[in-house]
Amino acid sequence: GSGTGFMDIRKCEWSDEVADAVGVSRDILPEIHESGSVIGEVTPEAEKECGLPKGLRIVQGAADTHCALLASDAQPNEVVIIAGSTAPVMMILDDLHCDPEQKIWTGCDLQKDRWVLESNATLTGANLEWIVRLLCERAENPDECVKKTLNSLDVLLVDIPPGSNETLIGLGPSIMDCQRITDVKQARMIFPQPALPQIVPLNSATLIHAVLENIAYAARGNLEQLGAHKEFSCIKTIGGMTQSKIWPTLLANIIGKQVHTPMQPEGSLIGAVICAAKGVGHYPSLSAAAKNIVKWKPTSEPDDRATLYESYYSKWKRMWCEGE
């Protein structure tokens, strides 16, 4: 609800002040229910329309990203990088904090007396899919080529070094600034002259790897922006991009810190399951449900590539975030 702009996020209630200022009646704003609470049941009329059995309890869920936080068992001062089509970088807070420069968002968490500080990298996985689809457009079966390529990233990219053989890409994701959120920059790409004998020429796999690095650089930049407001204790990542092993490993090396990844990548789905499990009484709280349902992959640790990534991250920021 806080994303509507109609909520007093200090109280996590609808704001009379905002409603009055824009001339909106409070009567049109829905009743606010806690996530994981039973809010009704399937009526006979609804049974006829949707096929769900009459009397089935209806449980309040939450927004997709907040469900992903729940599916990461996110605790206060922990950061979750939700790596899907977009990449919200979100920190759970147990006290309200707003950015005085208004570059990042503050919202209410789905659990009481908690808030979320968000620095959103915007389009990420969508750009990865775009570059793969571009490279596959002349394949005999482009859709099958895209699917096979995305499912084979761990094999295709395994031998590509940090910096993607000196290829830097600025494509889509950046470090959030709400004051310039409608600005859409032209994409940028730097790669070595291919004909020189000492150069490893750019190829399709290197290009895909550079796009992935670009996404991880943006995740780090947004993480650092959150860290300038509140110190974080833990980094987690969830979402479709975590289906590959390369993403959490790359993230750990570019950030230079441990990264924790749930077994189930579909965070929004699992978060909704957690809400339902609490609502029907399987668990006493959302927190208890999350701790019992969420399982974890082995922690991704930075290795000797992390040192190399410091200079490449700085180059990417200069190219993409600090002008020409």
Domain locations along the chain:
64-324
Task: Quote the DSSP letter at residue 158.
Answer: T
CA 219, CA 120: separation in Å to the nearest integer? Answer: 8
Torsion of CA 221, 62, 32, 102, to 10 degrees: 10
Residue bearing tokens 């991704």: 300
Phi, psi values for residue 213, rounded to 5°: -60, -40
Q: What is the CB neighbour count within 10 angstroms for residue 59? A: 19
Helix (H, G, I), strand (E, B) or coil at 82: strand
Taking only the tens of pLDDT, the chain with its 324 residues reads 788 889 999 999 999 999 999 999 988 999 999 999 999 999 999 999 999 999 999 999 999 999 999 999 999 999 999 999 999 999 999 999 999 999 999 999 999 999 999 999 999 999 999 999 999 999 999 999 999 999 999 999 999 999 999 999 999 999 999 999 888 889 999 999 988 888 889 999 999 999 999 999 999 999 999 999 999 999 999 999 999 999 999 999 999 999 999 999 999 999 999 999 999 999 999 999 999 999 999 999 999 999 999 999 999 999 998 754
Q: Are strands 78-82 and 57-59 parallel, antiparallel or unpaired?
A: unpaired
Query: What is the pLDDT at residue 324?
Result: 43
CA 286, CA 271: separation in Å to the nearest integer? Answer: 9
Q: Which two tokens stand for residue 16?
A: 């009379």
Return the percent helix, strand and coil in the chain, to nearest 5: 40, 15, 45
Q: Are strands 115-123 and 86-93 parallel, antiparallel or unpaired?
A: antiparallel
Query: What is the pLDDT at residue 319?
Result: 93
CA 230, CA 104: separation in Å to the nearest integer? Answer: 13
Topology (CATH level 3) of domain 64-324:
Nucleotidyltransferase; domain 5 (3.30.420)
